[in-house]
A and B are shown apart, each in its own frame.
Chain A
Amino acid sequence: MPRGSDVGPAVSTDSVPGVCVVRLNAVVALLGRFPALAGVDLDISAGEVVLVQGPNGAGKSSLLRLCAGLLRPESGRAEVFGLDLATARSAVRRRVGLLGHDTALYDELTVEENLNFWAAASRVDRSAAVPALDRLGVSHRLHDVVVSKLSAGQRRRVAIAAVVMRRPELWLLDEPHAGLDQSGRDLVDELVIDAAAAGATVIMASHELDRTLDLAGRTVVVAGGMVVADRVQSGEGGIHAH
């Protein structure tokens, strides 16, 4: 099986390398009355793996939520897959996979029931659930266990499997290594590499620079709701301004 074929985008119309997947121009977005993003300019091309870093409250998660179509731009121009986030957020949402701080799993349902529900809700074939769980190393004996009985790490793996199952064109990973053991972290790294190899675009916010700097080809630094630095990692491990 070619690398990433099981996690690559289900639809790859905009996954041609070089095509701009995310285009943000002076985007302002509010959380309540608080400006979570205060004039973000950012272009991300198909196939890129971008690390978003910055201090707590800098706007990393808000940036991911904006790209997922969950946060409305108040001003500026925001496009994902060429679709305007002010008017076409529903169309964007179907093509992205967001792993947030929440797992979006129902405690009283089993692992398999949860994934079957999200598969049906996302118009994904239910047969995709078990391979996705296998990919995340979730043991078959856990498939019939209710989610409330799982450890935090197991729960996180199931949540990631739910994203994998959708085979999104744009992966938005918020602290993807959080709560995982060493093998889980390695699996996440493999997923990111495979997704990018298959033509998907990956944007991840993380504080774990030792792991994620190696994965990302580009680092975007966010502070105060703005992009304050944008660097591309060179092949020799050095970095230069983008």
Chain B
Amino acid sequence: MLTDARLVAAKDLRIELRSRVTVSQVVPFAGLVLVLFGFALDANRPTLDLATSGLFWVTVLFVAIMAVQRSTAVETTDGARRALLLAGVEPGAVFIGKAVAVAVQLLTVEVVLVGGIVVFYGASIEEPFLLASTCLVATIGIAATGTLLGALVAGVRARETVLPILMLPVLAPVLLGATRAFDDALGSVAVNGWSWLAMLTGFTAINIALGVLAYGVLLEET
């Protein structure tokens, strides 16, 4: 299973590297969203300080929608999903491989975004380990949930519009937990970030298990 997952992840990442969509479109888009949020709230500096964590994760969610849409389209455009079934690739491995590829893209964007909030918003990182752990766990959760929902809407004609409608509410717990943990890491609000990270870890574990179990059914039925 891990061999197949690595194969699928490597293929998706190679496609992304070759198309350069993440570097040339997604990263600039994320940076632009961050800057525009900054323009909108800069007049009220305390509000911007308080909202930094939330703005960061809302931007990550927007980027995640784009990444998942591309990841889904790669398999649906020319019938590759069927070919994966025929090849006998374990559906759980396809799920893990695709989720890993999405997570790697999101983490790349998040590195740039962390730089962005430090430079543009003047944020200071007080707990770097908590910040890095939150990024890692929340990103895996977002990628796993997004990949599963991407497979769910793969057969839907208007999947580009249906996917965000499904993804955003389902990922609300991640937005909440990651924002709170980030608040602690940035020292902007006095909360226990580690307990929020524990909640995020639970959410992520549940969605990975759900994805490994359900992806095969979705691959067959859509």
Q: Are B86 and A93 in contact (CB under 8 A)?
A: yes
Tell me the count of chain B residues lying within 8 A, CB to CB, of chain A: 21
**Could you tell me the distance in whole angstroms from the C-beta of A65 to the nearest C-beta in chain B?**
8
Contact with A along B71-97 (1 / 0, CB 8 A): 000100111101111111100000000
Asked whether any CB of chain A lies closer than 8 Å to the CB of B160, the reply is no
Given that A109-B18, A113-B14 are known contacts, is A122 also in contact with B82, CB under 8 Å in the complex?
no
Q: In the complex, what residues of B have CB within 8 A of residue A224's CB? A: none
Query: Residue B4 at the A interface, CB < 8 A?
Result: yes
- Please give, as numbers and ranges, the residues of chain A lying within 8 Å of B4 by CB-CB distance: 121
Please pick, from B15, B78, B84, B85, the residue contacting A102 in the complex, using a CB distance under 8 A.
B78
Asked if B25 CB lies within 8 Å of chain A CBs, one says: no
* CB-defined contacts of B89 to chain A, threshold 8 Å: 121
- Separation in Å of the A206 CB from the closest CB of chain B? 19
In angstroms, Cα B220 to Cα A103, docked, is: 19
Q: Is B19 an interface residue (CB 8 A)?
A: yes
Binding site for A on B (CB under 8 A): 4, 7, 11, 14-15, 18-19, 74, 77-80, 82-89, 220
Task: List 21 A–B pairs whose Cβ atoms lie within 8 Å, in order of A's numbering.
Answer: A70-B85, A93-B88, A94-B86, A94-B87, A97-B86, A98-B82, A100-B82, A103-B79, A104-B80, A106-B15, A107-B77, A107-B78, A108-B14, A108-B18, A109-B11, A121-B7, A121-B84, A121-B87, A121-B89, A122-B88, A146-B18
Known contacts A102-B80, A120-B7, A146-B18; 10 further A-B pairs (Cβ under 8 A)? A68-B86, A70-B82, A93-B85, A93-B87, A104-B80, A106-B15, A106-B80, A108-B15, A118-B87, A122-B87
